[in-house]
Structure 1
Amino acid sequence: MTDAGPLSADEATFIAAARSGDAARFALVTERYRRELQVHCYRMLANYEDAQDMTQETFLRAWNKRESFKGHAALRTWLYRIATNVCLDFLEKRTPVPSGLADAGSEVLYLQPYPDRMLPEDPQESVVARETIELAFIVAVQRLPPRQRAVFILRDVLGWPASKAADALELTVASVTSALQRARGTVRAQLPDRRLDWRSPATHELTDDERGVVKSYMDAHERNDLDALTSLLRDDLRFAMLPEMGTTVMTAEDAVDSWVSGGLFQRGHDDWRGIATTVNRMPAAALYLRTPDDPRYRLFAIAALHIVDGKIAELTGFDAGGKPWLGLPPTL
């Protein structure tokens, strides 16, 4: 696998570090790639904690294979190749989904939100394009078989040419081209109303409309105003509360009724506070609950919202307890 052009300062420094056998020096050179590699692993795995682990495994494997880097490929390319194959190895061993689950798909059992504070800082990087980190995109990609998933991410998200992707995955160019065509068809079917040109300029900032809906969503919780909450939801709401259930399409009234029947907004689950945040470059509300026997509000759940024309079209809820990597205060 080759990238045209002479060695850059990064590659030269990396080769020197590899030859020195100095692990600390090696880590210093490779650390700058951690965040983007972690996003890459997250797209492959849909799970933040697994992505963290596989990124660390990538660096360990890179250290063990350091003598194989000759500078024929860019250092970033070499590391992405290792990370991709680390994820493929992990997916081969991941516990399969039990049969009989509603059409949740494997991604529902493993899906976790990605904290925006851990995204790469460069807003121009394709790895942080909002359209390629939103939950709907991550879920759609999980519908692909692992190797097809890798092809799609390398080719259509990172923009690698077919020959480079083929080298990374030890496939023929024809196999990569065929896999990409199949992957594109699956992703289009999963995201019929979304923009599919992943490499064109993408938005990163929330709109005023999105911020307003998040505030109204939190206010409705704090007031236990079920009518206001219902009015914020589209009547074809796509809802998931993970990992307990798969995605369900329901009316706004049915959604709120199901939450009430599950115990929310009833005594002991009716004293809420909220913090506006973002995950996966999506607007989100961190919800805190205070129970009668506890003087403090404790982090309960995080709701990631996809907002269309001032209404919540998709709501994905996650249990937020025990996840310090979300960067949210545990109590208020």
Structure 2
Amino acid sequence: MTDARVPGDDEAAFIAAARSGDPARFALITERYRRELQVHCYRMLAHYEDAQDLTQETFLRAWQKRESFKGHAAPRTWLYRIATNACLDFLDRRGDRIPVPAELPGARYLQPYPDGMLPEDPQESVVARETIELAFIVAVQHLPPRQRAVFILRDVLGWPASQAADALGLTVASVTSALQRARVTVRAQLPGRRLDWRSPAAHELSDDERGVVRSYMDAHERNDLKGLTALLRDDLRFAMLPNPDVIVTAEDAVDGWVAHGLFQRGYDDWRGIATTVNRMPAAALYLRAPGDQEHRLFTLAVLRVVGGQIAELTGFDARDKPWLGLPATL
């Protein structure tokens, strides 16, 4: 959107930094947008490390195009436009041009998002006020990239249709049509009992969530399959990425764990740390192999708790991911 308005203090400072020709000065004034742009890229890509790279690509493109910023739109809007198109170019190269007909499209790309890297002031950031729960991120990945961009710009960032159309080089009519299709797809892909994808501005774990995480870790530490099973809803949705398959009952999940030797050997020595990612409760599990002196970070289990039980469990390989902010050993 190119509204004719007088630039405010932020816009004036931004223009001055761009015209200065000083990359350090420009970097300093754009750095304040890093975290929210990274969340935006994560919504588009579902991959934390790629989102980091594309945020840096956004700043590089912004510097190269700095003379095109005239103050007709806010610096944030201008940067989001650049970030969105950088992500679309990346997705084009990655080959995500059509939805993958699987329970978890792009599952080989999906990574958790560390809460410590969310914008520091969620009350001030429109991006942070919207959910980045895994269910939402997965649902959005069912959309083709350009439709995904329309949906995020319109329904997450709240951009008017004309502004989204201008950013994506589309007509208003095509943006409106794409948004209608995207809304139908996203709502169809969200798990049952989810009436909307929006979450409160600030999310604190409930007592139920904290208790379930503690019990989940305790069951592992005691190799207690019965105790773990009691924590699971009968209609559990379970996935261990990057495997795209989703198990949809607790019984099938437990049978799979038993078949793969979990909780049978009796000598597995687990320890756990409670944490949060994607604003969801999670347990970081550490395994001590026979003969090892330390417990080593092994997997991250992200939980959605409903009525004191686990309704969704998504597991990630947590090894060699220092950006999770977890100790490598205990």
Normalised TM-score (structure 2): 0.94
Amino acid at match of 1:19: R
- Taking the TM superposition and a 5 Å limit, the aligned residue runs for 1:155-174 are 155-174=154-173
The alignment status of 1:296 with 2:294, answered yes or no, reads yes
Amino acid at match of 1:129: R
Shift of 1:203: 4.5
Partner of residue 310 from structure 2, selected from 289, 312, 327:
312
Preserved CA contact (<8 Å) 1:162 1:173: yes
Partner of residue 253 from structure 2, selected from 255, 258, 281:
255
Preserved CA contact (<8 Å) 1:268 1:292: no
State the secondary structure of the residue aligned to 2:107. Answer: helix
Preserved CA contact (<8 Å) 1:102 1:246: no
CA distance in 1 between counterparts of 2:263 and 2:294 reads: 17
The alignment status of 1:83 with 2:86, answered yes or no, reads no
1:153 — aligned with what?
152
2:273 — aligned with what?
275
CA distance in 1 between counterparts of 2:155 and 2:292 reads: 49
Preserved CA contact (<8 Å) 1:286 1:299: yes
CA distance in 2 between counterparts of 1:3 and 1:214 reads: 49
Identify if the C-alpha distance between structure 1 residues 102 and 239 changes in structure 2 by more than 3 Å, giving closer, same or farther. farther
1:32 — aligned with what?
32
- Taking the TM superposition and a 5 Å limit, the aligned residue runs for 1:36-55 are 36-55=36-55
CA RMSD of aligned residues (A): 1.9
Identify if the C-alpha distance between structure 1 residues 23 and 154 changes in structure 2 by more than 3 Å, giving closer, same or farther. same
Query: Where do 5+ consecutive residues of structure 1 fail to align?
Result: none
- CA-to-aligned-CA distance 1:22-51 (integer Å, 9 cap, x gap): 000000000000000000000000000000
Query: Where do 5+ consecutive residues of structure 2 fail to align?
Result: none
Preserved CA contact (<8 Å) 1:148 1:180: yes
- CA-to-aligned-CA distance 1:275-304 (integer Å, 9 cap, x gap): 000000000000000011211000000000
CA distance in 1 between counterparts of 2:201 and 2:31 reads: 26
Shift of 1:253: 3.2
CA distance in 1 between counterparts of 2:16 and 2:225 reads: 63
1:224 — aligned with what?
223
Shift of 1:254: 2.7
Normalised TM-score (structure 1): 0.94
- CA-to-aligned-CA distance 1:84-117 (integer Å, 9 cap, x gap): 00000000010569x9x98245321110000000
Amino acid at match of 1:187: V
2:262 — aligned with what?
264
- CA-to-aligned-CA distance 1:180-231 (integer Å, 9 cap, x gap): 0000000111125224263x84451111111110000001101111111000
The alignment status of 1:328 with 2:326, answered yes or no, reads yes
State the secondary structure of the residue aligned to 1:60. Answer: helix
1:181 — aligned with what?
180
Amino acid at match of 1:120: P
2:133 — aligned with what?
134
Preserved CA contact (<8 Å) 2:237 2:311: yes
Preserved CA contact (<8 Å) 1:206 1:283: yes
Identify if the C-alpha distance between structure 1 residues 259 and 211 changes in structure 2 by more than 3 Å, giving closer, same or farther. same
- CA-to-aligned-CA distance 1:146-190 (integer Å, 9 cap, x gap): 011001001111111111111111111111111100000001111
Preserved CA contact (<8 Å) 1:269 1:291: no
Shift of 1:246: 2.1
State the secondary structure of the residue aligned to 2:226. Answer: helix
Shift of 1:267: 3.6
Amino acid at match of 1:61: R
CA distance in 2 between counterparts of 1:247 and 1:202 reads: 29
Shift of 1:129: 3.2
CA distance in 2 between counterparts of 1:293 and 1:177 reads: 61
Quote the sequence identity (%).
Answer: 77
State the secondary structure of the residue aligned to 2:106. Answer: helix
* Alignment coverage as a number of residue pairs: 327
CA distance in 2 between counterparts of 1:174 and 1:128 reads: 29
Amino acid at match of 1:23: P
Amino acid at match of 1:308: V
1:18 — aligned with what?
18
Q: Which moved more, 1:209-218 or 1:253-262?
A: 253-262
State the secondary structure of the residue aligned to 2:291. Answer: coil
CA distance in 1 between counterparts of 2:227 and 2:4 reads: 58
Preserved CA contact (<8 Å) 1:10 1:29: no
Preserved CA contact (<8 Å) 1:41 1:54: yes
